[in-house]
Structure 1
Amino acid sequence: MKLSGHYIRLRRQYPHITEHQEFFVTLDELAVQLDCTHRNVQLLLRKMQDEGWLTWTAERGRGRRSRLLFIQNADDMILSAAKELVERKDLRGALAQINVSTLPDTFKDSFHHWLNSYFGHRSEVKGSRRLDTLRFPLAQPLQSLDPATIHYTAEAHLVHQLFDPLVRYNRLTGAIEAHLAHAWEADESRTVWTFHLRKGVQFHHGRELTAEDVRYTFERLKRLAAGSLYSWIQQQIDGAEVLDPVTVSIRLTEPNELFLQFAGTNRASILPAEICEERQADFALAPVGTGPFKLTHYDGSVCVLDAFHNYFQGRAHLDRVELWHIPDMEKQDRDRTLESFQIIHNYRLADEAEHRWEQVQQQGTTCRFLTFNLLKQGPMNDPELRGLVCSALHRGRLLERLGGDAIFAGDSFIRHRNGLPHDAEPVPYSPEKLRMLVKRSGYAGQPLTLCTITNYERDALHVQALLREAGFAVEINLLTAQEFKSEQRLHADLLLFSIMLDNDAELRIIDLYKSMQRHLEPSVKAHVAKLTDKILREPSAWRRAEWLQAIESHLTARQMLCFLYFKRLKTLYHSSVRGIALDSLDWVQFKNIWFKP
């Protein structure tokens, strides 16, 4: 233990004694308090006195009481020690220091205010170089940075910084563009796709990318397909063949016109075969890619990305990006923390702060919606009762409860994706009339289970409240993201989903319909399966959109799909930030950011 730790421990043993108040104590007592020998106590006290933290006047003779006077405030010392730990990137240790119950709230507030100021852009000159660091806070800890196993948006964004796929989809032009592959073609059967790789692309550990890495990546995706996003495409991978060091062919079991789009997602990011095999499960938090940044530190609290000097599309302007997981970050005072950040996502500004910030209106949105598990026998097998559930979840009433200027009503994935207006919502039932209709329907108060993931608990509570007001008995079952992908959700009556409508919207909507087929009634399941098969064989984007709209209309007409709300994504950035550009998940691309001195 450091000397300051011994002082803090000793000081806490005498909370009733104030600084500069002399009192008497025996050496035996101090030995017990510090859990050490008499000799070590004397040594520690002398060192503390040399530091000016206390004065100690010893009295000779065993059992004699000596005079002790504390000078240094222990809370100030704790605060300083916590700041020192933060500077050493030991966030866990710093928070452990601060979160002791005896520390006054004013000191805890002081530390968090300092910690918030620690975020944002920092620039320092070392010799002939200027080093630029950008620090971001994270509300949740990272679970995985393996492209094949990521769950959350923040993880997907970091994968975008660490890895590269073969191609990229340009949302503005609707075209697939070259990336790790500079050219590609498909055979006449549309089941064999051949990619020609750029030469000289390096992984972070220094080895050059080869066709073998592409083969390994896609065959690994097939092995890990079960339960993953886009598993239906991964399961179609029949194999891959290395034709030469920079040419690889990927075989599919059947034609799929969306395979090239999939090859441009972060899920299909290319991995170094030998590193991934060597690290196995550890690769998830010790990844190696070809991206503009490489991971140099991660301890569960702090994630450090350093610019990759040999990136094939040019070095990033920033030297380092640090992401810090701050527990209970969302509970902190939003007004107090605002000035700490140069870039903020989905944040509602106070009116007086708007003039200091620029805003990017993003194309992507998320949509929350409800579906019904028709495999389970119960009240929800009645389409009339499902219609009353949807009426109880009138979007206008839900939006009033949720609040926020980025949330809006909507009734279609496809119309929203194509920029078309949504249909006007019908006049809502009054609560009294709705309760009467529920009683007349024959519903006898059978308990209904609403299942979703833990992240959507707030939405689930609002849905539960509205349904209970209408006379439905609803209980909530929260699962982890991984559990929700399993059969566990099929024990529930109602399922609360979310979908991100971004660059990959077409793939995501099809993925949703593939997932929904697990709990649709047989006739509807067959109809949805038939149309999705047609979509995957259709080269025309507008024809695919028509059939996707047909599936959506089929489900909504039969009260199997109930839209709740859409959430528009926004990015705010301070006037000092330059190079703002948004990637496929509508996060800022770290590679392009720079700061005007």
Structure 2
Amino acid sequence: MKMANHYIRLREHLSLPEGVQEAIVTLDELAAILDCTHRNVVLILKRLADKQWLIWSPKRGRGNKSTLTFLVKSEELVLQIARNFVEKKDLRSAMDYINRPSLPQLSREHFNEWLFSYFGYRAELKDHKKIDLLRFPLSQAFYTLDPAFINYSSESHLVNQIFDSLVRYNPQNQMIEAHIAHAWEIDTSRTVWTFFLRKGVLFHNGKELHAEDVRFTLNRLRHVNPRSLYRWAHLYIRQINVLDANTLQIVLNEPNELFAHFLSTNRAAIIPIDYGGETKERFAKAPIGTGPFKLVKNDGSICVLEAFQPYFQGRAHLDQLEIWNIPDLYEHKQSKSFEGFQILHNFRLPDHAEETSWNQVHRGEICKFITLNLLKEGPLKEVETRRIVTEMIRQHLHLDTAKEGISPTDGFLDKELSELNTEELFANESASLTDTLVLCTIPQYEADAIMLQKVCQLAGIKLQIKLLPLAQFQGEQRLEADFILFAVMLDNDKELRLIDLYKSMQQHVGQAVKLQMEFYLETIIHEIDPLIRTKQFIALERMLKDIHAIHFLYRKQLKTVYHPSVKGISMDSLGWMEFKNIWFRSSETPTAYFPQS
């Protein structure tokens, strides 16, 4: 590889025109390019000639020029080096090579095609033993693997492989079921919860899980960032008592009928007391859980997980998982045929493929919406202005419903659009705004923000876009905007997510509206009947729509498409496949596997 680097460096510095393979150069110039002595230049050139990569025709004398004839295209060596890095699981170095400015775009595309062929299910031999390996890319980065601080679906998916929660939600029967806790009891006041833990549940470091680990986990959640997900649920915990090594009592301030559901989320995944002896920072990169897979490598670009042999729910069928963070490859590959893949997340089959043997699983929806800042001084403080603005947006918003499973919507839970003919009602109305309004969102939703900006322009409204990184967006800066654009995943945890959203909305509504919202939220949290909770959610949503504090844009249906060779299909709370259960019939297996958030 060292010689290849020297060769590439020579070709790039000499900048030969297209089709020209010869360069006339002095020994001094070569020494400067290679940053070495004359003696070492001679040794390097001889070795490159021995590899038949170039012909060196030297001329004696220090100032005389020699002829270098290059026999190999530098991009061929760049691709080979990049492939070598990939095979050594050094993705960063591989991408550094591929992103060299001198490399033609066509060569990058060839590398991408090769890289895709590298992904998928593989049966490999290791120490004379067959290893079932699944290697796949994710476009989303993973910044932390600490369950308390995850923000992205890629992180959530990895956490689900590494950790377990006290209980689990079963989407088939919509019930909370035993997991680390094999049973639990609730007293008549519905504020004292007693959990009985399984014996013999092991962390990946070999230590047995006890009630102290659960207490440490939940107490830690009570002191995390106040803007963290489901923070409101943590605050219901008054105290946690360890009754013995396998029995835990949680006392709540007041009844919370969604508490068990909260405990089933990966936010409440159990970690070892004192981070298993690691620092918090180290734990976030190399966590220790009890899950079906244990982490053996995480360099920020590649995560390698191995099946945890003594897993209390039974060993995974796969031996190893490799998750590669490749930001731009999904967009590159999406235009290609889907036939080469085994599993595709967030994918819509082409029309001609609907009747094929491929299977589809509906895995939830994303709902995009804007909230209006009722506290900011300006035109949107008046309800009539908000009414006109939101209806003008509705009138001018034309969605490509044939694309990516998108459909119009008028609510999170109440899917039916109003039969009111808004076009007739508002055809002669105008927003009459001279102010420039500000819309705040995160970079991931920039395309939706630009779409809204164009819609507002058609409606005669000036709209400025402000993009904030997620950490800043969760803070106070978003409250300076007139509109806030965001999305909610309507998955198994939608009740928790909606409460989280409405708690956040309370920061930019007036006191009277805030009190109304709090009444609905408290009613929902105290209600044991899920059907009544749904009715309360719909009532809260309609109240906010009546005062035009929220406006819905569209829903995007998410599906998982999988090949018949994939067996043992089951879904986690975000609709990702649970890797513990899947296995492959090798005689039917296509060449690659490609999940995507």
Q: State the match for 2:106 in structure 1.
A: 106
**Partners of 1:395 and 1:498 in 2: CA distance:** 21
Q: Measure how far apart 1:288 and its partner are.
A: 1.2
Q: State the match for 1:427 in structure 2.
A: 421
Deviations 1:539-581 (A, max 9, x none): 2222222222221221122222211111111011123222222
Aligned AA for 1:255? P
Task: Report the CA distance shift for 1:171/1:350 in structure 2 as closer, same or farther (over 3 A).
Answer: closer
Which structure would you say has the larger RCO, counting Cα contacts within 8 Å and 6 or more residues apart? 2
Q: State the match for 1:408 in structure 2.
A: 407
Pairs within 5 Å for 1:136-155: 136-155=136-155
Aligned AA for 2:163? F
Pairs within 5 Å for 1:163-242: 163-242=163-242
Q: Measure how far apart 1:128 and its partner are.
A: 5.5
> Contact between 2:291 and 2:308, CA under 8 Å: does it hold in 1?
yes
Q: State the match for 1:419 in structure 2.
A: none
- When the two structures are superposed, what TM-score results if normalisation uses the length of structure 1? 0.93
Aligned AA for 1:411? D
> Contact between 1:303 and 1:323, CA under 8 Å: does it hold in 2?
yes
> Contact between 1:27 and 1:38, CA under 8 Å: does it hold in 2?
yes
Q: Measure how far apart 1:474 and its partner are.
A: 1.3
Aligned AA for 1:582? M
**Partners of 2:68 and 2:500 in 1: CA distance:** 71
> Contact between 2:348 and 2:559, CA under 8 Å: does it hold in 1?
no
Pairs within 5 Å for 1:278-289: 278-289=278-289
Q: Measure how far apart 1:359 and its partner are.
A: 3.2
**Partners of 1:185 and 1:580 in 2: CA distance:** 32
The DSSP-based 3-state class of the residue aligned with 1:592 is coil
Q: Measure how far apart 1:278 and its partner are.
A: 2.8
Q: Measure how far apart 1:188 and its partner are.
A: 2.8
**Partners of 1:21 and 1:542 in 2: CA distance:** 75
The DSSP-based 3-state class of the residue aligned with 2:572 is coil
- When the two structures are superposed, what TM-score results if normalisation uses the length of structure 2? 0.93
> Contact between 2:137 and 2:325, CA under 8 Å: does it hold in 1?
yes
Q: State the match for 2:438 in structure 1.
A: 449
Q: Measure how far apart 1:426 and its partner are.
A: 2.9
Higher mean displacement: 488-497 or 209-218: 488-497
The DSSP-based 3-state class of the residue aligned with 1:438 is coil
Aligned AA for 1:426? L
2:536 matched to 1:544?
A: no
> Contact between 1:116 and 1:337, CA under 8 Å: does it hold in 2?
no
Q: Choose which of 431, 437, 458 in structure 1 pairs with 2:429.
A: 437
Q: State the match for 2:70 in structure 1.
A: 70
Q: State the match for 1:565 in structure 2.
A: 554
Pairs within 5 Å for 1:38-437: 38-126=38-126, 129-275=129-275, 278-336=278-336, 338-352=338-352, 358-394=358-394, 397-400=397-400, 403-416=402-415, 422-429=416-423, 434=426, 436-437=428-429
**Partners of 1:163 and 1:47 in 2: CA distance:** 52
Deviations 1:8-66 (A, max 9, x none): 11122334378895655432222122111011111112222222222324444433444
The DSSP-based 3-state class of the residue aligned with 2:429 is helix
**Partners of 1:542 and 1:159 in 2: CA distance:** 31
Deviations 1:207-237 (A, max 9, x none): 1111110000000000115101111111222
Q: Measure how far apart 1:180 and its partner are.
A: 0.3
Task: Report the CA distance shift for 1:19/1:474 in structure 2 as closer, same or farther (over 3 A).
Answer: closer
**Partners of 1:245 and 1:395 in 2: CA distance:** 61
Task: Report the CA distance shift for 1:526/1:312 in structure 2 as closer, same or farther (over 3 A).
Answer: same
Aligned AA for 1:79? L
2:481 matched to 1:487?
A: no
Higher mean displacement: 304-313 or 184-193: 184-193
**Partners of 2:149 and 2:483 in 1: CA distance:** 26
**Partners of 2:580 and 2:26 in 1: CA distance:** 62
**Partners of 1:94 and 1:339 in 2: CA distance:** 27
**Partners of 2:5 and 2:438 in 1: CA distance:** 51
> Contact between 1:20 and 1:69, CA under 8 Å: does it hold in 2?
no
> Contact between 1:357 and 1:572, CA under 8 Å: does it hold in 2?
no
**Partners of 2:351 and 2:74 in 1: CA distance:** 40
Higher mean displacement: 77-86 or 56-65: 56-65
**Partners of 2:390 and 2:18 in 1: CA distance:** 64
> Contact between 1:346 and 1:571, CA under 8 Å: does it hold in 2?
yes
**Partners of 1:41 and 1:451 in 2: CA distance:** 57
Task: Report the CA distance shift for 1:529/1:2 in structure 2 as closer, same or farther (over 3 A).
Answer: same
**Partners of 1:582 and 1:117 in 2: CA distance:** 26
Task: Report the CA distance shift for 1:437/1:463 in structure 2 as closer, same or farther (over 3 A).
Answer: same
Q: State the match for 2:504 in structure 1.
A: 515
Q: Measure how far apart 1:129 and its partner are.
A: 2.9
Q: Measure how far apart 1:392 and its partner are.
A: 2.1
Aligned AA for 1:477? K
The DSSP-based 3-state class of the residue aligned with 1:413 is coil
Aligned AA for 1:160? N
Deviations 1:144-203 (A, max 9, x none): 211111111221111111110000111221211000000111223222211111011111
Pairs within 5 Å for 1:469-508: 469-508=458-497
Q: Measure how far apart 1:450 and its partner are.
A: 1.1
Aligned AA for 1:112? N
The DSSP-based 3-state class of the residue aligned with 1:365 is strand
The DSSP-based 3-state class of the residue aligned with 2:149 is coil
The DSSP-based 3-state class of the residue aligned with 2:336 is helix
**Partners of 1:376 and 1:180 in 2: CA distance:** 47
Report the identity percentage.
48
Q: Measure how far apart 1:508 and its partner are.
A: 1.4
**Partners of 1:458 and 1:585 in 2: CA distance:** 23
Q: State the match for 2:592 in structure 1.
A: none
Deviations 1:485-534 (A, max 9, x none): 21211111111121111111111122222221111222221111112112
Paired residues, number: 586
The DSSP-based 3-state class of the residue aligned with 1:223 is coil
